[in-house]
Chain A
Amino acid sequence: NAGVTQTPKFRILKIGQSMTLQCAQDMNHNYMYWYRQDPGMGLKLIYYSVGAGITDKGEVPNGYNVSRSTTEDFPLRLELAAPSQTSVYFCASSLTGQGRSPLHFGNGTRLTVT
């Protein structure tokens, strides 16, 4: 199993550009998540999904959108990139809700907006 795969690993965007961060998992997990990690701030939840066709906002959803058309894929869309979106983005999945099931993380996408 590859686990959780994120692409690209690195990306530089100009202010106002858009992009999609890809995330795929092959563990048949229902729950998927997008986090951003900023130095010294831990992880903040952007969006999550409890299954195909169902998504919901996390703590910091502004400036982002998601979709979940299949169990495997959970892309994150950035519209009109801003310098505040410079961060490392992690996708994660879990078998059940966050209560008891540990999260499986991808290796991250490092995004710089200039």
Chain B
Amino acid sequence: AQSVTQLDSQVPVFEEAPVELRCNYSSSVSVYLFWYVQYPNQGLQLLLKYLSGSTLVKGINGFEAEFNKSQTSFHLRKPSVHISDTAEYFCAVSADSGGSNYKLTFGKGTLLTVNP
């Protein structure tokens, strides 16, 4: 069975500083990886995804993530954050649980707070 660990439950940063939100996963099979963002009182929306190919994935709003198979990580980064990036970020892993049935597992989320 797969699992997802988001190593930080809260990350406070100042505006224009760089940020990295960490995500590690465990799975015995190949995976697809996602980052979702949830702004206050809204549903989740897709930030970026890794399905195959280049391990560096670029998403919306200037975010990017790098898939590292040897370290089973998919950390999210942004070189310079804005106040509007304040939100909760969820890492998610999808893996074949058998018979081409894919199971999607979410991490517990990281609350990014950008301070002026």
| Chain A contact residues, CB within 8 Å of chain B | 4, 40-43, 45, 90, 92, 97-100, 102-103, 105-108
CA distance A103 to B108 in the complex (A): 17
B11-19, B68-76, B78-86, B97-105 - interface stretch: B97-105
Assuming the contacts A40-B108, A97-B101, A100-B32, asked whether A108 and B90 have C-beta atoms less than 8 A apart, the reply is no
Whether the pair A102, B46 counts as a contact (CB closer than 8 A) is yes
B41 within 8 A of A: yes
| Chain B contact residues, CB within 8 Å of chain A | 9, 32, 34, 36, 41-46, 49, 51, 90, 94, 96, 100-104, 106-109
Whether the pair B102, A99 counts as a contact (CB closer than 8 A) is yes
Q: Is the interface of A mostly helix, strand, loop or mixed?
A: loop
CA distance A98 to B104 in the complex (A): 6
Of the candidates B42, B43, B94, B108, the one whose C-beta lies within 8 Å of that of A99 is: B94
A90: which B residues are within 8 A, CB to CB?
43-44
The smallest C-beta distance from B51 to any residue of chain A, in angstroms, reads 6
Assuming the contacts A40-B109, A42-B109, asked whether A107 and B102 have C-beta atoms less than 8 A apart, the reply is no
CA distance A98 to B36 in the complex (A): 14
A41: which B residues are within 8 A, CB to CB?
108
